[in-house]
Amino acid sequence: MPQFSEITDRLAGLQIEVPSWAYGNSGTRFKVFAQAGTPRTIQEKIADAAQVHKASGLAPAVALHIPWDKVDDYDALNAFAADHGVRIGTVNSNTFQDEDFKLGSLCNSKASVRAKAVKHNLECIDVMTATGSRDLKIWLADGTNYPGQDDIRDRQERLAEGLEEIYAGLGPDQRIVLEYKFFEPSFYSTDVPDWGTSLLHCLALGPKASVCLDTGHHAPGTNIEFIVAQLLRQNRLGSFDFNSRFYADDDLIVGAADPFQLFRILYEVVRGGGLENPDVVLMLDQCHNIEPHIQGQLRSVLNVQEMLAKVLLVDTEALAQAQKAGDVLGANGVFMDAFYTDVRADLADWRESRGLPRDPIATFIASGYQAGIEAERIGGQQSGWNS
């Protein structure tokens, strides 16, 4: 097994994009829970995200969600982010909260509604151009609840046409990452329910379209690392949305439900060359319903870092030898030895050597930042997906 000192160069390259919406209020279908100090503007979300990067050194980019994070002056927003030590990352479109999209957006049977959805995504491309962002992430809530509600094949044709229009609006260095989700809010049929559907549309669009894999968007028992391997083989894995699930799309802290699954996924990322590939974006997509927002994001990026360190400790030569020899338990043992290695003390020492806190969460708590924003952010409309 490699020594920890042998993996630090690769570990230092880890970057995780954090979502602006993780710092706003969220909750369940029944209640959105407000927290003191919750941001009221995108600038305050960026300021909070900057605390995650300051404490961990892992989160230099912040993803936007439009229209939630829409502003009049994106040059000023870029400058604000830079002043706080971060930058604008992926731009996410939103075609699931407008009344016109009740029966779908790009897949809607009405041409006027489809045109509205396309226009919104083209406006998001304008935001990308203004912020220097490369990626437009598209997640669609489109689908049906009842058999016969709409023509399943026609909806795929409409989707293909809408995506083509959006794709045509991309700049030379911009791309689409198309997310999938196997159910919810549509329960009979979902228009982009799986990685195969997303991949088929991306292949039809061209080289500037890739798949976004949300780790919570799969049926129970799905081998997500297999999907990772396949998409990397085709050079079509554009980005991750890291989170955890116990039952469905729970959007919990990544690594909280099944750390071993996160380890297995990251092993395939490393195995497939995704760690050093700038075309593979590691990003969080989580909603902190009951835990503090900033601490939740800090715990998440640190969980990814810890599991990546374990992955980089896999003795790949011994593993390959055991695999070639058909040594089933030997190969599994090499894999498990790395997973069970406790790297926490080594990570703390390494952070300290790089001028970062040994314990980023404890350091953040002691900084007084949370108490400061709770005292300062009085009044106004708190950000959240119900606002």
What is the distance between the alpha carbons of residues 19 and 342, in angstroms, rounded to a whole number?
29
pLDDT, mean over the chain: 97
CATH number where 304 lies: 3.20.20.150
C-alpha dist (Å) from residue 120 to 91, 126, 177, 183: 12, 10, 16, 23
In a domain, 384, yes or no: no
Do the domain assignments include residue 383? Answer: no
pLDDT of 27? 85
Q: How confident is the model at residue 10 (pLDDT cuts 50, 70, 90)?
A: very high
pLDDT at 384: 87
- Express each pLDDT in 109-168 by its tens digit: 999 999 999 999 999 999 999 999 999 999 999 999 999 999 999 999 999 999 999 999
Q: Is the pLDDT of residue 386 over 70?
A: no
Alpha-helical (H) ranges within the chain are 8-11, 42-56, 74-83, 111-131, 152-168, 195-205, 224-233, 259-271, 293-312, 316-324, 328-340, 344-353, 360-367, 369-376
386 within domain boundaries: no
Instruction: Tally the domains of the chain.
Output: 1
Give the pLDDT confidence score for residue 29 in this predicted structure: 78
Residue at 70 is within a domain:
yes
Rounded mean pLDDT, 48-69: 98
Residue 387 has pLDDT above 70, yes or no: no
Entry pTM: 0.96
Residue 100 — pLDDT band, cuts 50, 70, 90? very high
387 is a domain residue: no
> DSSP labels for 125-182?
HHHHHHHT--EEEE----EESSTTSS-HHHHHHHHHHHHHHHHHT--TT-EEEEE--S
Classify residue 60: in a domain, yes or no: yes
Residue 79, Cβ density class (10 Å: 0-12 exposed, 13-18 middle, ≥19 buried): exposed
Per-residue pLDDT of 62-86, as tens digits, reads: 999 999 999 999 999 999 999 999 9
Q: What are 186-208's pLDDT values in tens digits? A: 999 999 999 999 999 999 999 99
pLDDT at 247: 93
Distances (CA, A) of 221 to 122, 261, 294: 37, 11, 31
The C-alpha atoms of residue 200 and residue 196 are separated, in whole angstroms, by: 6
Range of the domain at 345: 4-376
Q: Is residue 266 part of a domain?
A: yes
Measured CA to CA, the distance from residue 26 to residue 280 in angstroms comes to 27
In a domain, 12, yes or no: yes
pLDDT tens sequence across 333-379:
999 999 999 999 999 999 999 999 999 999 999 999 999 999 999 99
